[in-house]
A and B are shown apart, each in its own frame.
Chain A
Amino acid sequence: MLEIKNLHVQLEEEGKQILKGVTLTVPAGEVHAIMGPNGSGKSTTSYVLSGREGYEVTDGSATLDGRDLLEMEPEERAAAGLFLAFQYPVEIPGVGNMTFLRTAVNAQRKARGEEELSSGDFLKLVREKAKALDIDAEMLKRPVNVGFSGGEKKRNEILQMAMLEPRMCILDETDSGLDVDAMRLVAEGVNALRSPERSFLVITHYQRLLDHIVPDVVHIMHDGRIVKSGGPELALEVERNGYGDILAEAADA
């Protein structure tokens, strides 16, 4: 489904190289995790895939279902089935959460040549999905993320994911700032979306989240490259020994 080949990326303004040849394939239905120390390029990978400005791809490719992601505008990538759950969801005062969700859902449907959802159908759908994530009517009425707690913001991200039904979900440090209960709720929301048709790329510092969202493959990223890949046990190893051993081993290899 998602294929990243030899991806090289630098910061547009500073010319600083961040990704130095990332190669990664996430097949349909699988959950992959990317772990790595601060500054290794994890978040940059998520931004480049979703089309944030400020990054220049100097080499390599990224495709979703064979379509070149890097050629597309961010909204086109979304319509193609890519979703990024933000590490820091953005507050948008004055724009109601419902308005935002409906605009997004219908914009994507329109871009894909599908019929827009009616108010009634949309309302029914959003209420059903919100309930599962313990998001009340009040939260849906409030402006996007304004006055939301850290946990509420992340749940709101998962609600958007549930409404947009993407093919490929990237979670950028979704566990950051969450207590155990909030993390469980978020993880349950993600697990409910797991299907043979949908893939996940979970970016995280800690193994904790991966107790709840069990990955098929774990990749360790360091200095702009994937230095090691393995099963869920790799995450446990990081938890026990830190990154030091793995990185030393990778440097020797």
Chain B
Amino acid sequence: MLEAVKTQQTPVIEGAPRSAPADVQLDARLAAAPAPMTGATAPARADALARLKEQGLPGPRHEYWRYTDPAPFNAARPEPVALETVAGDPKLFASVDKLRLVFVDGRFDAAASDDPALAGVEITTLAQADAQPGHWVAEAYGVLEAQGQKPVRRPFAVLNTAVATDGLVIRVTGKADRPVQILYRPSDAGADVIVHHVLRLEEGAELTLLENGLLGARGNVVIEADLAPGAKLHHIAAPRAGVARIATTHLFARVAEGASLKSFELSVDGRHMRSESVIELAGDDAVAHVAAAVLGDGGNLRHDDTVFITHGGLRGESRQVFKKVLKNGATGVFQGKILVRPGAQKTDGYQISQALLLDEDSQFLAKPELEIYADDVKCSHGSTTGALDETALFYLRSRGVPRERAIVLLVLSFLADALEEVEDEDLRAEISGRLEDWLTAKAQG
């Protein structure tokens, strides 16, 4: 199934030519966004605005937007959604001991949140940090995002940097003894949520970050995470349970020597989703694992994971494990790239993307890319698209397991490799259990 491939190719030239309608669209998009803040992050915002005006919004001919129509993200305003039909999953992480921080329509809600006091972790909001002259966020805000624009442009992240007005600013100096949870809640049916989180993990620091809940009618989340040597960040994102979800999310991370980033995404029935991870293994012996378990049901549904991992140091290890279960005409997209810079010897890069199509109407589009400029590396990639294993289905049924239940078990079996990427056993069990509940409810519904 897997083949080891080593290729060299010229970088793709990015960006469709700008056209007048796109300009008009950008103006409308910016006009609809809230007025940006004017404090510590103002220079970074001005820079982002200039970059955005320079590159414009993407069109369908843009190399990295061929498989996912950017129109719903380009639109000035999202279509309002009926909040009662997008009831999220409040139970996810309910049993986990954590520090809960709540955002309502993209605004931090202190009253609904726990006291943001956690040993070894300094937590403030973007709005507060912005108002504080000399806050370190001024040096960090938009930096990794801007670096992540080369060689592939990520216009909705630029937009986010330019206009975001809230988010969390977290500095981790020790080993956090419980996870920090960001819980999104919608209150306005038309909420167009733009949130920007900035994380800095100092040397040897450790944090688990959970994200879940419902963003709003449309969501745009950027996380910038800077990991100092030996730091560990475990990120689990599930902000997208429920129908009618339109969102772009970006994780920009820089991983220094001996540091480790593990990011897992759980997505259930988002409608038009684009999730990007842009990770640079900057130091030697750095580790990055990104994985996703995606369930897509319905003809309007499109879920796109776009990953770019750059190996810049020696003996870097990266893993991409993406699993999508698609039915009733849903489309899954995976664009995953491993770039090995000159000198990044002994790189170990692995990538697998797999789709389980539960009917003949659904499809999976995968574009694996390897670009390698070092000669002593191990990189492998694989992609498969398949139907349910009829023999396994018969095996389960022959033991008395009803068909619907057998399918649930086989879907969980298919997703197991991705779930394995969640290191913490309790969290893995929690996610697996909720997935099973969702699948069972759907099978009965």
Contact = CB atoms under 8 A, between A and B. Distances in A.
Given A103-B405, A107-B402, A92 B397 contact: no
Contact of A78 (B391, B392, B399, B405): B399
A44 to B, nearest CB: 14
Contact of A94 (B389, B395, B400, B416): B416
Interface stretch (A22-30, A45-53, A216-224, A225-233): A45-53
Interface stretch (A82-90, A123-131, A187-195): A82-90
B417 interface: yes
Interface string B385-409: 0000111101111111111011001
Nearest to A54: B390
B414 interface: yes
B392 A90 contact: yes
B413 interface: yes
Contact of A95 (B400, B403, B409): B409
4 cross-chain pairs, A with B, having the tightest CB-CB distances, nearest first = A94-B416, A78-B400, A108-B400, A74-B397
Nearest to B410: A92
Contacts of B416: 93-95, 143
B427 interface: no
B412 interface: yes
Contacts of A50: 398
Place the interface of chain A in its size category: 20 to 34
A15 to B, nearest CB: 19
A104 B395 contact: no
Given A89-B395, A92-B395, 19 more contacts: A51-B398, A52-B394, A53-B390, A74-B394, A75-B398, A75-B400, A75-B402, A77-B398, A78-B399, A79-B400, A90-B392, A94-B412, A94-B417, A95-B410, A95-B412, A95-B413, A99-B409, A104-B400, A108-B400
B415 interface: yes
Contacts of A89: 395
Contact of A92 (B400, B405, B409): B409
A73 B394 CA distance: 10
A103 B401 contact: yes
Interface string B346-365: 00000000000000000000
Nearest to B391: A90
Chain B binding site: helix, strand, loop or mixed by DSSP? helix
A74 B391 CA distance: 12
Nearest to B413: A94
A53 B409 CA distance: 19
A105 B392 CA distance: 17
A97 B392 CA distance: 14
A74 B416 CA distance: 26
A164 interface: yes
B394 to A, nearest CB: 5
Interface string B364-398: 00000000000000000000000001111011111
A207 interface: no
B405 A94 contact: no
A79 B400 CA distance: 6
Contacts of A51: 394, 397-398
Given A51-B397, A93-B413, A95-B413, A107 B405 contact: yes
B400 A100 contact: no
B436 to A, nearest CB: 10
Given A52-B394, A90-B395, A92-B395, A75 B412 contact: no
Interface string A31-72: 000000000000000000011110000000000000000000
Contacts of B412: 94-95
A140 B29 CA distance: 57
A100 B409 contact: yes
Interface string A142-153: 010000000000
A73 B405 CA distance: 14
A50 B397 CA distance: 9
Contact of B399 (A73, A93, A160): A160
Nearest to A160: B399
Q: Which of B389, B398, B401 has the most CB of A within 10 A?
A: B398
Contacts of A164: 399-400
Nearest to A90: B395
Interface string A94-121: 1100011001110110010000000000
B93 to A, nearest CB: 21
Interface in B410-437: 410, 412-417, 419
A236 B214 CA distance: 71
18 contacts: A50-B398, A51-B397, A73-B397, A75-B397, A75-B401, A75-B403, A78-B399, A86-B395, A89-B395, A93-B413, A94-B415, A94-B416, A94-B419, A100-B396, A105-B400, A107-B401, A143-B413, A143-B416
B413 A103 contact: no
A79 B395 CA distance: 14
Contacts of A105: 400
Contacts of A143: 413, 416
Contacts of B400: 75, 78-79, 104-105, 107-108, 111, 164
Contacts of B398: 50-52, 74-75, 77-78, 83-84, 86
A92 to B, nearest CB: 5
B321 to A, nearest CB: 13
A166 B30 CA distance: 68
A164 B399 CA distance: 8
